[in-house]
Amino acid sequence: MIKRYNIILFLSLILLSLVFLTQANAKCTMDGNKLDTSFGVTTPVKNTDEDAGDSCNNVPDTYQVEFFRMSVCTLNPDIAGSAQPDLTSCIDIMAETGTGNVVNIVGTSETALDIPEFTIPAGTYPYMVARLSAKLGIRHAFEATTAVAYGNNAGETQTAGTFCWTMNTVLTGIDGAVGIVTPFGTTVDAGSTNRSNMHCSNTSTDVSNAEFSYEIVYVNNDSGCGSFDTSDGDRESAGDIGNGSAVSRMMQSATASATSCANTNSILWTIDLTTPLVVTDTSSFVMNFRTTDAVSLDFNGGASGNPRIIKVGADPIQAFLTVID
């Protein structure tokens, strides 16, 4: 039996290591250290090697995620067509306790995930699974090459500036819907109401006022909440994520699938590993989370005068567990 203890030493606990694999991910085009917003008012930004548009992806300054469970499994815990996941073959790295583990992942630093002792029996594990909160937080700031406007909490367009930072002013949903009553609050469509979860000014020190802004990921279907598949927690394949193929299922509890956006409080993320984890009696473990493009900077495609920031959106991170003998 493999035992690991909650001490902050490399190979003695699970580490959250930000792995920046830029060759495999879209990134906002930069001009030095500045976000390049020079491509037009309605299409101010672009990802590297892509056409200009009203959004691009980047590395967040701080990414906040709450974990409820992490496990490795001998059998697929989330089979297509099943109403509920089956986690009976899973061995917990972090067990469900009813209380989540909030982690703030900052820059390229390694952040310890504070968990109790865990045991993984020797064997082969083709699957890994995590349940994380549907509420994802981003704290982020940037300097732009041109002045960027924003809408305040009353929907009024504010004076543009080149320094922008996140504020906890609106709760957004991943599909941009307005008025979705979630376990975390009611969502606002920042774009249609001309409100923003970012403020901007021409004063560089203002970026120190950055707060966490939150987005709720409560649906997988691109058509939004109206197309939520109630039979299986809106289960959907995320395709190849680098270390295997992933499936996302919306949950309302540790074991029950969500039946709508309104009762989604968490996401079950299952990876069918390309290379199964082989654990022996001398194995150690390292957990990596890739957040290379985990923030989406979203602008208003109908802006005039200056590019107008709508929000930063929190995209799910990717998890990689490495077994070391």
State residue 95's pLDDT score: 86
Query: Beta strand pairing status for 90-94 and 62-73?
Result: antiparallel
Q: Is 227 left (phi over 0), alpha (psi -120 to 50) or beta?
A: alpha
Q: Quick one: which of 212, 208, 230 has its CA closest to 220?
A: 230
Domain ranges of the chain: 2-324
- 10-residue mean pLDDT profile of the chain (325 residues): values are 26 26 59 95 92 88 87 95 96 86 70 68 90 90 96 89 95 82 91 89 96 90 88 88 82 96 93 86 62 73 92 64 61
Instruction: Count CA within 13 A, CB hemisphere, residue 176.
Output: 16
State residue 290's pLDDT score: 55
Distance CA 206, CA 200 (A): 8
State residue 284's pLDDT score: 63
State residue 19's pLDDT score: 29
Q: Determine the 3-state secondary structure of 310 from DSSP.
A: strand
In degrees rounded to 5, what are phi and psi of residue 248? -115, 135
Q: What is the pTM of this model?
A: 0.82
State residue 106's pLDDT score: 73
Query: Beta strand pairing status for 284-290 and 34-35?
Result: unpaired
Query: Do residues 180 and 187 make contact, with C-beta atoms less than 8 angstroms apart?
Result: yes
Query: Do residues 112 and 254 make contact, with C-beta atoms less than 8 angstroms apart?
Result: no
State residue 319's pLDDT score: 56
The residues, ordered by sequence, that sit 6+ positions from 88 with a Cβ below 8 Å of its Cβ are none
